[in-house]
Structures are given as structure tokens and as C-alpha cells.
Structure 1
Amino acid sequence: MSIETPPPVEPPDAPTAPPMPAEPPAVAPKKRPSPLLAGLLGLAIGAGAVGGVWAYTARDTTPPKPDTFTLKGTFTLMENATEGEETGCYGTGGYDDIKEGASVTVYDGAGGIAATGSLGHSEYIAGLCMYDIAVKDVPADQKFYQVEVSHRGKVHLTVKQAKAGELTASLG
């Protein structure tokens, strides 16, 4: 007889363990910018913000100028008027400040200077010097005006007279 030995029993296959998960990639620690770079970056952002605010607020927000008109009229020098060949008509003696280009000042109702101009073209007629006056940019928001030629005293006008070109003044 022979004894047969049974074949060796192999243990059942052990369940295989799932593979180990891969290690997450190593995260490098965040690198902080250098203090110089951080300062420059902050400066640039701050300057940009300030510039943006400045540009926004710098828009033309000034109130519009009031309506204006050109005050027109005439001025007559009645004494010591002389005609020059190249200089037009002018005054002599105590009136030598009266000539083309002499100052014309327009004052507002409160006595402040509203506009300035000068005596314009002159003409010599029968012993008189007649000058054109045209003062630009006179504010139209006053009830009355005062006009002075050189330093010779003020002439009063209503706004209606001033806008209508009814300025007539004389000296001498």
C-alpha cells in the first residue's frame, strides 16, 4: 500500500491591499516678496489710486462764466484836442493822458472792476477828439455799471443802456 500524501494545501490568496496613494507633491512654502519689492509695489498702487482720484476730481467743475457783452460807446475830448499825423487824435496840456489806448475801466454795481479796455480809433472833428469805446467781456449780471476813462471820473449806466451801446461820455 502506498500512502499517498495529499498535495499541500496552499492558503487561499490573501486579498491584495489597495495600492498606497501617491504622496501629494510637496508644496513649497510661499515665498514672500522682498521688502523693497513690496514697498515699490505699494507705492505704485498708491500712486495709481491717488492719480485716479485726482483725474476724476480734476474735471472741469468750475462754474460757467456769466454771460457777457461788449460795452460800446463814444468818448469826446472837448478841450485841447489835437490831430496827429500818425498818432490819431490826442489831448494836450492837462489832457495829455487822453489818446488812443488810454484805459477804460468798467465797474460793477459794488464798485469792483468788471472789465477793462481802452480808447479805440479816434477822429478829429471841428476841434474835438472823438474816440470809439468797445470793452469786451463785461458781465451781464449787474443792474448798473460805472465807466471811467483814464482817471477822469465815472459815468453811470443802467444795464439796459450798457447793453444797447448807449455810453456817451465827454471831458473838457
Structure 2
Amino acid sequence: MSGSRWDRLSRPAVLAVGVVLGAAVTGGCWLIASLAGGESSAEKTFGTSGTLTLIDSSFSLLEEGEVCTGLSGYSDIRRGAQVNVTGADGTLVATGALGGGTKTALGCEFPFEIEGIPQGSKFYTVEVSHRGGLTQTEAELRSGGLVFTLGND
């Protein structure tokens, strides 16, 4: 009896071996392609940071470094207030939140950080609560240090 090993295997066994080999080759190609330099999702996004300073004469009673929060017409300016980033088309692309307020020489300062901003928009608008936004380029956002000032003396 002559013939190859394949001749002695049943048809279902040959098909099973073919399926396993096909899956292995496909998986190997996918792994090589993903390791060969495709950008990860983390590289397609970036973050920014900044501060909002609330200027109000009611803070004059506090010492620098004390905890503070918005009062009366500024009660929405507090730890946890939402910070929104929209793309050029007006679509919400990322959110962050204000950190706790600290009394400074200027007023009550709230830090914020926003992660996961998708790259590639012509410009972005950053808005704290419902108080109007700052429009920035991607380069300006990437550099951080955004400064919002709200209120009056």
C-alpha cells in the first residue's frame, strides 16, 4: 500500500487540520501587523490641563490656600463641575472635571485635566460648566496650561 499520510486520513480530519492551520496563519499575520508599528488608540488621543480662576470679592475673607467654591450665581463652579471639549464640528469629544478650589491671590482656582481627546480636529473648544468656551488648536491644547477667568471684583 503506497500513498502519502494525507491519503490515510479521513476527509473530516484533513478539513480540521486545514482550518487549524488557516486560523494559525491568520492570527500570526494579525499579530505581526499589529506589532509592526500600527498606532495604538492611546497614540491617537492626547490630554490637556488648565485652571479656572473664579474672581469674587467674597473670597477676600479667606486665607491663601484655603478650600473655596463658587457661591450664589457661581454655584455651578465647584469640584466635579464638567469640563467639555468639542471638535470643530461641534461634537462632544472628551470630558473632564474641575478639581477642588483653592484660594489664591486672584480668587478661587480650580485645576482640571482632560484625557482622551482625539487628535486631528481643525480646532477644539473647551468649556467649563455652561460658561462659554475657549477655542484652541490641537498644538495649544497639547501644551496645556489653559487659563479661564470668570467673575468680577
Q: TM-score range by the shorter chain?
A: 0.5 to 0.7
TM-score normalised over the length of structure 2: 0.64
Amino acid at match of 1:106: V
* Correspondence 1:1-172 to 2 at 5 A: 65=41, 67-79=44-56, 82=59, 88-126=67-105, 128-172=107-151
User: How many angstroms apart in 1 are the aligned matches of 2:147 and 2:52?
Assistant: 6
Task: Give 5+ residue unaligned stretches, structure 1.
Answer: 1-55
For this pair of structures, how many residues does the alignment match?
129
Q: TM-score under structure 1 normalisation?
A: 0.58
Moved >6 Å (runs of 4+): none
2:121 aligned partner, one-letter code: Q
Fraction of identical pairs, as percent? 37
CA contact (8 A) 2:87 2:123 kept: yes
SS in 2 for 1:148: strand
Deviations 1:135-166 (A, max 9, x none): 11111222211011011111111111100003
Choose between structure 1 and 2 for higher RCO, CA contacts under 8 A separated by at least 6 residues. 2
**Could you tell me whether the CA contact under 8 Å between 2:102 and 2:109 is conserved in 1?**
yes
Secondary structure of 1:97's counterpart equals: coil
Structure (1/2) with the larger helix percentage: 2
* Structure ID, larger Rg: 1
Q: Equivalents in 1 of 2:106, 2:116: separation in Å?
A: 33
Displacement of 1:64 in angstroms is 5.9
Q: CA RMSD in A?
A: 3.6
Letter in 1 for 2:54: L
SS at match of 1:109: coil
Inter-partner Cα distance in structure 1 for 2:58 and 2:77? 9
Q: Distance in 1 between matches of 2:121 and 2:150?
A: 26
Q: Could you list the runs of 5+ residues in structure 2 that have no partner in the other structure?
A: 1-25, 31-38
SS in 2 for 1:91: coil
